[in-house]
């Protein structure tokens, strides 16, 4: 098992390029099996979750090969299995997104109920109820979702009680090859939803409204092949920018779309960080000086995936800031570990009060509890006095491509070691 050893107190400076998005890559990889033709995907990040997805796709009988570090060739001319097994699915909640593509191609699917980070309830019932509206028969037995449909999936008018990203992606994929038209109301609006729709449209799908709360999909009989480059990882970009800010440095992240980070940038500016934007880059300069109050919300609100990292940053901003977590009820599990490093944070329900000051953190051994919590601990370690050891970084490897290499490029003193 690996850990990070971080020598704190080094000011980060320089520029790095953003990796491709994990949260866009996973649904796009799964959506690739909707086509029987060859597909080339560019800018696929090298992550544990990506490798799990590739194994799942191979297990279905699709041909997939790595042509270079971030380029893959996929051809699902014929599928030989309809099952996504527990041993793979248990490590990654996004695996449930295989339901619609397998169903659309084979008329039946068997997918294990998913696992992944333990950050709260992320029920799949929204997915399943929506699929049932599209004529899919659902049965849950022995930890598996068994789904089947007579003929083709049927288009339907579907309204979500909550703008679930995964359910929106699921129904976009289900509607792509469905009979008739599908409408998704109260759809998630995340940029990754737009990227999935753009990918499918590049293959011949007819999807309109992605990025709004109402998406319409006109089913087509089949999809073509093609090439597609995946969008940047906005969570990685935000994390690296905060790494620069927490150390008081000057850090630029390139090959990104600033408009996809508007709420995050707004809060960073309120905190006193100097934020400069270009057409395809963002630069943060200096430390924070003003307290802020942040509430996580579905896009275009403040992303829950940046909440833990922002909390570490606010620990170094003098005064009392607040964060209200509205998405996942267990997403404050990083707080006890930040407290071990010297943070002064109190929790009441879904609200965290962060009493920040300069030079808050002192090095210690801490343990990552989930993907974004691990990033928060790395940020704290970068500014802490002395050495910080972050254990269980396999969580981080699920969602960050060579984070230590990028931080090292900016001057940070961080190394990966075996425990």
Q: What is the pTM of this model?
A: 0.95
> Who contacts 118 (Cβ-Cβ below 8 Å, separation ≥6)?
330, 333, 369, 370
Q: Give per-residue pLDDT as tens, 83-116.
A: 999 888 887 878 899 999 999 999 999 998 875 4
123 and 216 share a domain? yes
115 and 44 share a domain? yes
One of 75, 117, 214, 315 is an active-site residue; which one?
A: 117
Q: Of 177, 205, 229, which residue is a domain's last? A: 229
Residue 219, pLDDT > 60, answer yes
Residue 117, pLDDT > 60, answer no
Q: Tally the domains of the chain.
A: 2
- If you average pLDDT over residues 372-385, what whole number do you get? 96
62 and 192 share a domain? yes
Q: Of 169, 202, 229, which residue is a domain's last? A: 229
Residue 202, pLDDT > 70, answer yes
63 and 194 share a domain? yes
9 and 76 share a domain? no
Q: Do 5 and 417 touch, CB atoms closer than 8 A?
A: yes
Beta bridge partners of 227: 40
258 and 220 share a domain? no
59 and 94 share a domain? yes
Per DSSP, helices labelled H in 60-118 are 86-89, 99-106
Q: Give per-residue pLDDT as tens, 39-98.
A: 999 999 999 899 999 999 999 999 999 999 899 999 999 999 999 998 888 878 788 999
Q: Which of 296, 293, 285 is nearest to 320 (CA)?
A: 293
> What is the residue range of 117's domain?
22-229
Mean pLDDT, the chain, whole residue set: 95
403 and 358 share a domain? yes
Q: Which of 412, 387, 369, 365 is nearest to 239 (CA)?
A: 412
Q: Which of 145, 196, 117 is nearest to 392 (CA)?
A: 117
Pick from 115-129, 232-246, 268-282, 398-412: least confident: 115-129
220 and 264 share a domain? no
Provide the CATH number for the domain around residue 374.
3.65.10.10
Q: Of 212, 229, 246, which residue is a domain's last? A: 229
118: buried, middle or exposed (CB in 10 Å: 19+, 13-18, 0-12)?
Answer: exposed
Q: Give per-residue pLDDT as tens, 270-295.
A: 999 999 999 999 999 999 999 999 99
152 and 236 share a domain? no
Beta bridge partners of 74: 39, 64
For residue 118, the model assigns a pLDDT of: 40
71 and 153 share a domain? yes
Rg (CA), the chain: 21
331 and 207 share a domain? no
Is there a catalytic annotation at residue 315?
Answer: no
């Amino acid at each position: 098992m690996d850990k990070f050893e971080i020598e704190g107190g080094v000011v980060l400076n320089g520029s790095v390029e953003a990796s491709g998005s994990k949260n866009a890559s996973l649904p796009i990889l799964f959506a690739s099996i909707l086509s029987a033709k060859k597909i080339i995907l560019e800018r696929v990040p090298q992550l544990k979750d990506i490798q799990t997805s590739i194994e799942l796709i191979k297990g279905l009988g699709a041909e997939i090969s790595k042509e270079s570090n971030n380029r893959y060739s996929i051809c699902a001319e014929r599928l030989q299995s309809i099952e996504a097994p527990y041993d793979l699915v248990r490590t990654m909640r996004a695996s449930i997104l295989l339901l619609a593509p397998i169903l659309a191609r084979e008329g039946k699917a068997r997918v294990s109920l998913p696992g992944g980070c333990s950050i709260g309830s992320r029920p799949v019932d929204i997915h399943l109820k929506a699929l049932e509206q599209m004529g899919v028969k659902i049965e849950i037995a022995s930890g598996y979702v068994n789904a089947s449909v007579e003929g083709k999936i049927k288009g339907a008018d579907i309204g979500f009680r909550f703008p679930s990203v995964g359910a929106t992606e699921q129904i976009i994929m289900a509607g792509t090859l469905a009979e008739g038209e599908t409408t998704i109301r109260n759809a998630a609006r995340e940029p990754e939803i737009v990227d999935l729709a753009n990918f499918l449209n590049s293959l011949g799908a007819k999807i309109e409204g992605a990025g709004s709360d109402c998406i319409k999909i006109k089913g087509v009989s089949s999809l073509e092949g093609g090439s597609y480059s995946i969008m940047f990882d906005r969570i990685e970009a935000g994390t690296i920018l905060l790494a620069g800010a927490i150390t008081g440095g000057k850090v630029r992240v390139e090959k990104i779309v600033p408009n996809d980070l508007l709420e995050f940038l707004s809060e960073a500016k309120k905190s006193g960080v100097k934020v400069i934007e270009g057409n395809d880059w963002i630069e943060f300069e200096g430390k924070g000086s003003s307290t802020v109050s942040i509430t996580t919300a579905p896009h275009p609100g403040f992303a829950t995936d940046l909440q833990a990292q922002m909390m570490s940053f606010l620990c170094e901003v003098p005064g009392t800031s607040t964060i209200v977590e509205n998405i996942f009820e267990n997403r404050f599990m990083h707080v006890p570990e930040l407290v071990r490093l010297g943070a002064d944070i109190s929790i009441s329900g879904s609200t965290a009060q962060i009493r920040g000051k300069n030079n808050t953190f002192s090095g210690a051994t801490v343990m990552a509890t989930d993907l974004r919590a691990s990033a928060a601990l790395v940020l704290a370690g970068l500014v802490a006095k002395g050495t910080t050891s972050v254990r269980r970084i396999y969580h981080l490897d699920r969602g960050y491509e060579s984070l230590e290499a990028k931080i090292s490029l900016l001057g940070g003193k961080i190394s990966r070691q075996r425990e």
